Structure 1
């Protein structure tokens, strides 16, 4: 699948989830205000932030389909990474607020209508399961994963609201409502931290997690005529697009025409690296060059 179709497909998935999530977020918000449940309000807050994050994700997916230009030689593929970063940071802010509110309510738990929380929490759980299922069946870009993080947080929030409603309805302590909200927020925080590490790796031009640079070099030097690979750099353009640049030492430059397609095929089929820039060098000439003090300096005319 091309990068354009790949991003277009993820954009449609995110747009569908956006419409579905926004509608029920309003229902939960009204229900939470009516029942007085923090678990329900926190779930509604999660879903409203989901709506924003899904909107950002859909917009980022649309940007990623834009072709390369003079200003952006790789296109706007990194837009999905920025969308994921926005979602992670936004989720940290939401979690911080819910933790603050939960701790405040633990000191003086307000009255909660358990039956209303039980009903709306159950409906919210069904909605979140549907949206999560749609997102998991779509292309697993970093952008979609960022949106899925929010939806999974909502799913856990719905479970917490459902549990809180059931416990309070059966005569349990009111403090269970903020306690469950606090527990769910900590689970979401752990997931957000993992995604943040991955986004940071991409933005810092780190080697993709599923690619071993040493293995790449070992495989490339097995090609006939290749003596060594050096100055190799591997990085991520988008969730599904990796790039590589390297210098390749050859026994003789005449072998490059045959070696190049083999190298590109190995990179593509073994490591899913579709963008590669390989610079051939004659090993004997390079070693001679390296030994010379002024090798590579611009030629100058003697007076």
Structure 2
């Protein structure tokens, strides 16, 4: 019952953060146009991407609870990658549009409405800050990741706030497009990083934090094991890692001994970041070669 309450709060917290972010994104786009600020519009694009991320996280947080079935035997965890890719594409298109409009402003800067910028920046810090605090109380990894992402937004709005204060007292309108370009380049860097991670998972790449050589050595060091070979590892969603391997044993074993050895191997692999392991035992005198 306690865990069910946590899972319910997980979904509720993301839902609240989603509607807060979506409402403020609309305000940002209107405010960015009215204040003639490219920095505000850049943050609006960023927050639009965050709204998509939060909306998809809200949906997938509920969907991820579905167990595996005949259609998706590993469950629905990998659907979250679709959200990451869609979000990255939206941010990519939005960032290109912002850069297309911001770069000419570097050569011919226009003075934005700094009072309006200050108001929006303060609202940005408050609203994103509330969303961060709401999600930081959560229990799911999904919430903590989204919370970290929104914390970046708070820092971005602090930068806009400082820039608006400087422009309010100093005639330096070039600060606005400079902030816009800096925010957009930061967004593009994160888009590249997220797309790289997503495609690595889709293409069945080995999990970056899993050292296969160290895993083979750790298994080979167990009593009764001669060597471990044919290791294949991939990640379902970037968190749930799967591994298959052949383990060559030095002597014949009873069924009970085989089960006990497999349990020890799975325990060793679990400590190294493997959540699901399929193990085939082979006798050293008659090894099978199943290389593809």
Greater gyration radius: 1
- CA-CA distance at 1:70 after TM superposition: 1.0
Question: What residue number does 2:157 align with?
Answer: 158
2:242 is aligned with 1:243: yes
- Which residue number corresponds to residue 272 of structure 2? 271
Residues in 2 aligned to 1:278 and 1:148: alpha-carbon distance in whole angstroms: 37
TM-score by length of 2: 0.85
- The whole-number CA distance in structure 2 between the counterparts of 1:156 and 1:104 is 26
1:25–1:48 Cα contact (<8 Å) kept: yes
| Alignment partners' CA distance in 1, 2:105 and 2:152 | 21
* Distance (whole Å) between structure 1 residues aligned to residue 81 and residue 106 of structure 2: 37
The SS at the match of 1:284 is coil
Alpha-carbon deviation of 1:156?
Answer: 4.5
Q: Residues 230 and 245 of structure 2 are in contact (CA less than 8 Å); yes or no, is this contact kept in structure 1?
A: yes
Question: How many Å separate the matches in 2 of 1:144 and 1:239?
Answer: 15
Unaligned runs of 5+ in 1: 296-303
Q: Residues 165 and 190 of structure 1: is their aligned pair in 2 closer, same or farther, counting only changes over 3 Å?
A: same
Q: Distance in 2 between matches of 1:285 and 1:9?
A: 54
Tell me what 2:121 maps to. Answer: 121
How far, CA to CA, are the matches of 1:239 and 1:14 in structure 2?
20
Matched residue, 1:203: 202
Corresponding pairs, count = 284
1:221 Cα deviation after fit: 1.6
Contact 1:95/1:189, CA 8 A, preserved across alignment: yes
Partner in structure 2 of residue 172 of structure 1 = 171
Give 1:152 shift. 5.0
Do the aligned residues in 1 keep the contact of 2:207 with 2:238 (CA within 8 Å)? no
Does structure 1 conserve the Cα–Cα contact (< 8 Å) formed by 2:21 and 2:47? yes
Q: Distance in 2 between matches of 1:5 and 1:226?
A: 44
Please name the residue that 2:57 is paired with: 57
CA apart distance, 1:20: 1.4
What CA distance in whole angstroms lies between the structure 2 residues aligned with 1:136 and 1:186?
A: 27
Counterpart Cα distance in 2 of 1:210 and 1:244: 13
Q: String of CA shifts for 1:201-233, please: whole Å, max 9, x gaps.
A: 212222222211111111112222221211111
Q: Could you say what secondary structure the match of 2:110 adopts? A: coil
The match for 1:300 is none
Tell me how far apart the structure 1 counterparts of residues 96 and 7 of structure 2 sit (CA, whole Å).
32
CA distance in 1, matches of 2:133, 2:204: 31
Q: Match of 1:15? A: 15
> Is the alpha carbon distance of 1:257 and 1:112 closer, same or farther for their aligned partners in structure 2, counting shifts above 3 Å?
closer
| Alpha-carbon distance in structure 1 between the residues aligned to 2:245 and 2:286 | 17
| Aligned residues: CA RMSD | 2.8
Q: Gaps (5+ residues) in structure 2?
A: none
Structure 2 match to 1:256: 258
1:114-154 CA-to-partner distances (Å, cap 9, x unmatched) read 1121122122122223334444554334x9747854x3553
Specify the alignment match of 1:32 in structure 2. 32
Q: Compared with structure 1, are the counterparts of its residues 257 and 111 closer, same or farther at alpha carbon in structure 2 (3 Å cutoff)?
A: closer
